[in-house]
Structure 1
């Protein structure tokens, strides 16, 4: 499957105010003194980033950010996505051009990890579904026949049902076992998208064709990379 995977500017500036003070003696000409207030300090708000947003390599390749994770016992933040995203590019940006960070941990078949290296990127643990952040509360698999939804920056919210578990599929980076088969209708730019059932993380999109999409369960990757959902 091919991978297709954007710099925001924020800030505000306040102009200095000009005050004119007139003073004069009881007899004589008035003297004017001008006082210019110092310009207010410029502040820059952090770019808030959620799972399910578009990631780009700064060129033509796009993927979807999966889940935001934290390093065990640390404040480091990571983006859990698909391995064929992190295999395709080393540096990732938001769709509006803000640096996210560098690909790391691409050794696990199916999964990839991006380390958040930008202190001005506020990577949060929620996932954007229909434009609204949904908190991730766990990672319990749902029964076959249950509805699941994928959050994709390029395609929006995509919903379908679980049709099978423990499926084996050949992907570009190798044969992957233990996949969840769904009826999600996804495309190349949806690779890496987080899949939710309510607040339960079901995994990330790793491949498929048409409306048969395969999802790699999230717990395996968390264990392999030594991270946990944020």
Structure 2
């Protein structure tokens, strides 16, 4: 029983066994003209590209939630790989310790709905919640597309070269390079942000997610706008 508790509640993994959910070298397509949803990629100078997991608001401004290891060192973000349409500026970065970043949307010609792209169609997100072991979880990623699985563990720690990230949850979902920021959700409930994984979608694997509910709470943000 003690061993099971350790495995499910305080599992520590090293990055050597993981694939960090980085963006691929190939240039990705830009977001739909005039709208950015969860699952859409943003682009920054120097070849930076990360996917927005979820859009959120503080009641007056809109923000995108991204992985910290992917977005933390970038300052200005664009809707297109040619860097001609500025849409956001970096506002918060947490990595290591946690693994998330917040960008503040700045382009009034775009809309930022509380939706994610699932199979090319908008999917409404109404709330955020902490994941529970055994809960169904789905993921929408630019590389792997839409897949569903279960939450396997919570309060997981992952060791990166830069330091340890605490408080992640692990799922049975697979992850491929290019899925940084893939949205993890259950119906209309936002659960987390894909940040790392082991294995692959050909032979199976696991994914590690930054829970999104505590991120929103820490910064006075909400989904469902």
Higher mean alpha-carbon deviation, 166-175 vs 193-202, is at 166-175
Q: 1:209 aligns with which of 198, 210, 215?
A: 198
| Separation (CA, whole Å) in 1 of partners of 2:149 and 2:73 | 27
- Determine the structure 2 residue equivalent to 1:92: 77
- Give the direction of change, closer, same or farther, for the CA distance of 1:132–1:90 in structure 2 (3 Å limit): same
Residues 127-138 of structure 1 mapped to structure 2, 5 A cutoff: 127-138=116-127
More helix by share: 2
- Determine the structure 1 residue equivalent to 2:62: 77
Normalising by structure 2, report the TM-score.
0.75
Q: Is 1:106 the counterpart of 2:125 in the alignment?
A: no
Partners of 2:128 and 2:213 within 8 A in 1: yes
Residues 67-216 of structure 1 mapped to structure 2, 5 A cutoff: 67-71=54-58, 74-95=59-80, 98-107=85-94, 109-171=98-160, 173-210=162-199, 211-216=205-210
Higher gyration radius (CA): 1
Deviation at 1:191, TM superposition (A): 1.4
Once the two structures are superposed, residues 2-34 of structure 1 have per-residue CA deviations (whole angstroms, 9 ceiling, x without a partner) of 6327697x9xxxxxxxxxxxxxxxxxxxxxxxx
What's the secondary structure of 1:189's corresponding residue?
A: coil
| Separation (CA, whole Å) in 2 of partners of 1:101 and 1:172 | 28
What's the secondary structure of 1:85's corresponding residue?
A: helix
Structure 1, unaligned runs of 5 or more: 11-45
Q: 2:217 aligns with which of 214, 223, 227?
A: 223
Deviation at 1:200, TM superposition (A): 1.0
More strand by share: 1
Deviation at 1:195, TM superposition (A): 0.6
Structure 2, unaligned runs of 5 or more: 1-19, 200-204
Higher relative contact order (CA 8 A, sep 6+): 2
Partners of 1:54 and 1:152 within 8 A in 2: no
Once the two structures are superposed, residues 103-139 of structure 1 have per-residue CA deviations (whole angstroms, 9 ceiling, x without a partner) of 1111462110011011111111111111221111222
Deviation at 1:172, TM superposition (A): 5.2
Q: Is 1:64 the counterpart of 2:51 in the alignment?
A: yes
| Separation (CA, whole Å) in 2 of partners of 1:110 and 1:138 | 20
| Separation (CA, whole Å) in 2 of partners of 1:166 and 1:178 | 4
| Separation (CA, whole Å) in 2 of partners of 1:7 and 1:189 | 12
| Separation (CA, whole Å) in 1 of partners of 2:34 and 2:88 | 13
Deviation at 1:174, TM superposition (A): 3.1
What's the secondary structure of 2:35's corresponding residue?
A: strand
Deviation at 1:76, TM superposition (A): 0.7
- Give the direction of change, closer, same or farther, for the CA distance of 1:115–1:194 in structure 2 (3 Å limit): same
- Determine the structure 2 residue equivalent to 1:3: 22
| Separation (CA, whole Å) in 2 of partners of 1:207 and 1:82 | 10
Deviation at 1:96, TM superposition (A): 6.2
Q: 1:55 aligns with which of 38, 42, 54?
A: 42
